[in-house]
Amino acid sequence: MSSRLLQFLSIVCVMLFVSACASGPQAVMDFDHDYDFSRVKTIAIQPFDRTKVTSIAISDMQVDRINAAITAELESKGYQVIADTPAADLLLTWHLVTQDRTDVRTYDGMSYYNCWRCGPAVSDVSVRQYTEGTLIVDMIDPERTRSVWRSVIQSELKPQPDADKAAARRKKAAELVFAGFPPEAASN
């Protein structure tokens, strides 16, 4: 390959890496292409199932806050969130799965001699422990009792002592999760 092509490919790779790092969490969505989402007007959030396996304990207050963020986002899209499960067009259920992660990074640095080959090589190692959370949201057709839409988002979970910042993170997560709801294929 020519050096010009290699240089171009290197620049493209760096740009893709930078844009991927800067974009933040994104939701991945899948849906049943045969389901008619245009008839959906009401959605019922199912009670949080504490028997599902998660690696962190989630309080009733946290469940209520997540449900409130989900409700606010769905209502902003024109849906009515109801408590009456039999009257709902879709049932919504969500799960939070967590996993402890370790991020290890090494950085090569210059020696304090500040000249080439004048001193020992210096490397720094950074080790960071964090919890990654995966929020899985399913929309279930109550007639078929099968999922017809799913959105999954992963993000680092951060304890937020500031209630306003925590609410903003929940709101942003709900926006990302429902960015593709209803699916555009439903309008065709």
Q: What is the pLDDT of residues 42-87, one digit of tens each?
A: 999 998 766 665 556 678 888 899 999 999 999 999 999 999 989 9
SS3 30: strand
User: Could you give the domains of the chain?
Assistant: 24-98+132-183 (3.30.160.670)
* Integer angstrom CA distances of residue 6 from 14, 87, 107: 12, 60, 25
- Segment 173-186, tens digit of pLDDT: 999 999 999 997 54
pLDDT number for residue 173: 92
Alpha carbon distance 66, 14 (integer Å): 36
Whether the full predicted model's pTM is greater than 0.75, yes or no, is no
In this structure, of 9-18, 79-88, 93-102, the range with the lowest mean pLDDT score is 9-18
Quick one: tokens of 162?
């500031």
Q: Is the pLDDT of residue 154 over 80?
A: yes
**Which residues are CB-contacts of 185 (< 8 A; sequence separation ≥ 6)?**
31, 33
Biggest CA–CA distance in the chain, Å, is 77
Q: Please state whether the peptide bond connecting residue 120 to the residue before it is cis, i.e. omega within 30 degrees of 0.
A: no
